[in-house]
């Protein structure tokens, strides 16, 4: 069966949703962007920009926008979900009856749901009752600001149906955005969710004044945490060596454009969680809540995730960042 990915609704006009809509439009697709606020939709539609999230970026004239979800979903063959992970279920509850029954559903969200400990593709399947072969995940080193500036990057399009993954790959490939396919949805989603927590830890370390050795240690040991959890849940270990694993981890842990790293930096520099939240200007640092859900998932699987647990204690138990660092360094010595 031929999979059509031509008429696309992108649901969510934050920085990544708007950027991915731009990528799709630049790839020649018919794209409509749904924004929760009418003024954002008006800016995209009338002024070809989204100054709240991508200041200075000119969007394609072909990119349409609306604040009406039903209008955005009318007649499309593909729906992209670009809302924060912890809001996806509620949003789907509002949207799914307006979505065409055979549509390809693409998740950009990176997280594990707090209440159910489910990955985002599992949440989509839960609410919409579609089969897993209709759900696609896009993940990788995708810092929105750089992609919106058309700096070269690669990403992963994951689906258990290889043909559907290829159809989405073709739909979003541009001269600056290079997608690869993968059928390991579990691994790609876990990599995207876990890296946010590790990036927060790297930000904490930077805020404490630690240097590149510490950063490299956290990235490497964070990758080990991701691999252990992935193995317990049936992921392909090789996925974590690729773009959706190590690639995303390095970008998010190293870049000042990363909200999670920036949030962690503020904590390490002495801010409270509330003060650090104010500094994100309404954009979500997914690693805060993901530290809870990933820790819960790891506990259920009997897997040790000490960095994730340290981030959780700082964000929710009031532990001081320097104490977290001391406890991680004080763990028993063992083989790598």
Mind listing the pLDDT tens digit for each residue in 38-81? 999 999 999 999 999 999 999 999 999 999 999 999 999 999 99
pLDDT value of residue 280 = 65
- What beta strand segments (E) does the chain contain? 7-11, 30-34, 64-66, 78-81, 104-107, 135-139, 153-158, 177-182
Confidence band for 284, pLDDT divided at 50, 70 and 90: low
Query: Quick one: what percent of the chain has pLDDT higher than 90?
Result: 89
On whether the CB atoms of residues 316 and 295 are closer than 8 A, the answer is: no
Token duo for residue 207: 């805020």
∠ CA(204), CA(208), CA(210), 5° rounding?
95
Predicted model pTM = 0.94
pLDDT at position 7 is 98
Question: With contact defined as beta carbons under 8 Å apart, do 307 and 225 qualify?
Answer: yes
Query: In the prediction, which pLDDT does 307 show?
Result: 97
* Distance (Å, whole) CA 47 – CA 42: 8
Higher pLDDT pick, 279 / 123? 123
Q: What is the pLDDT of residues 17-28, one digit of tens each?
A: 999 999 999 999
Residue 14 confidence class, pLDDT cut points 50, 70, 90: very high
117 pLDDT band, cuts 50/70/90, is very high
Residue of higher predicted confidence among 279 and 305 = 305
What is the greatest pairwise CA distance in the chain? 60
Res. 336: pLDDT tops 90: no
136 vs 3: which has the higher pLDDT? 136
pLDDT value, residue 281: 61
Question: What would the mean pLDDT of 155-176 be, rounded to a whole number?
Answer: 98
Amino acid 204: pLDDT: 96
* Strand (E) or helix (H) holding 144: helix 144-148
Given a cut of 80, whether residue 167 has pLDDT beyond it is: yes
Give the per-residue pLDDT at 283: 64
Domains of the chain: 7-183 (3.40.50.720), 186-329 (1.10.1040.10)
pLDDT of residue 102: 93
Average pLDDT score, the chain: 95
E strand or H helix at 39: helix 38-47
Catalytic residues: 195
Q: Does the pLDDT value for residue 274 go beyond 90?
A: no
Q: 88: which 2 tokens? A: 């996806």
Within a 10 A sphere around the Cβ of 28, how many other Cβ atoms?
A: 11
CB 163 within 8 A of CB 220: no
Specify the residue for token string 């993940």.
139
- Of the pLDDT bands very low, low, confident and very high (cuts 50, 70, 90), residue 2 is confident
Are 178 and 271 in contact, with CB atoms under 8 Å apart? no
pLDDT band at 282 (very low <50, low <70, confident <90, very high): low
**Environment class of 19 (CB within 10 Å of its CB; exposed 0-12, middle 13-18, buried 19+):** buried
Instruction: Return the pLDDT at 77.
Output: 97
Local structure of 159: helix, strand or coil: coil
| C-alpha closest to that of 300 among 102, 76, 118, 82 | 118
Per-residue model confidence (pLDDT) at position 335: 86
What CA–CA distances, in Å, run from 200 to 2, 203, 306? 41, 5, 13
The length of the chain is 336
């Amino acid at each position: 069966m031929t999979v059509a990915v031509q008429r696309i609704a992108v649901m969510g006009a934050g920085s990544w949703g708007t950027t991915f809509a731009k990528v799709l439009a630049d790839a020649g697709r018919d794209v409509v962007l749904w924004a929760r606020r009418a003024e954002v939709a008006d800016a995209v539609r009338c002024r070809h920009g989204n100054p709240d999230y991508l200041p200075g970026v000119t969007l394609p004239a072909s990119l349409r926008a609306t604040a009406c979800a039903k209008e955005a979903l009318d007649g499309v063959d593909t729906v992209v979900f670009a809302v924060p992970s912890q809001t996806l279920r509620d949003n789907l509850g509002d949207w799914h009856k307006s979505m065409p029954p055979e549509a390809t559903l693409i998740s950009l969200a990176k997280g594990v749901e707090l209440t159910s400990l489910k990955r985002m593709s599992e949440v989509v399947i839960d609410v919409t009752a579609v089969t897993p072969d209709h759900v696609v995940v896009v993940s990788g080193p995708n810092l929105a600001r750089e992609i919106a500036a058309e700096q070269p990057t690669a990403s992963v399009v994951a689906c258990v149906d290889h043909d559907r993954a290829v159809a989405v790959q073709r739909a979003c490939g541009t001269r600056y955005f290079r997608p690869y396919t993968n059928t390991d949805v579990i691994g790609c989603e876990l990599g995207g969710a876990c890296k946010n927590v590790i990036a927060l830890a790297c930000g904490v370390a930077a805020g404490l004044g630690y240097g590149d050795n510490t950063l490299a240690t956290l990235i490497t040991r964070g990758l080990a945490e991701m691999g252990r959890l992935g193995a317990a849940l049936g992921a392909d270990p090789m996925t974590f060596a690729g773009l959706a694993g190590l690639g995303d981890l390095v970008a998010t842990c190293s870049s000042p454009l990363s909200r999670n790293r920036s949030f962690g930096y503020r904590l390490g520099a002495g801010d409270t969680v509330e003060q650090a939240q104010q500094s994100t200007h309404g954009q979500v640092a997914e690693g805060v809540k993901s530290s809870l859900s990933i820790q819960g998932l790891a506990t259920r699987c009997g897997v040790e995730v000490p960095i994730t647990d340290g981030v959780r204690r700082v964000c929710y138990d009031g532990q001081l960042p320097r104490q977290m660092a001391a406890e991680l360094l004080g763990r028993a010595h063992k083989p790598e």
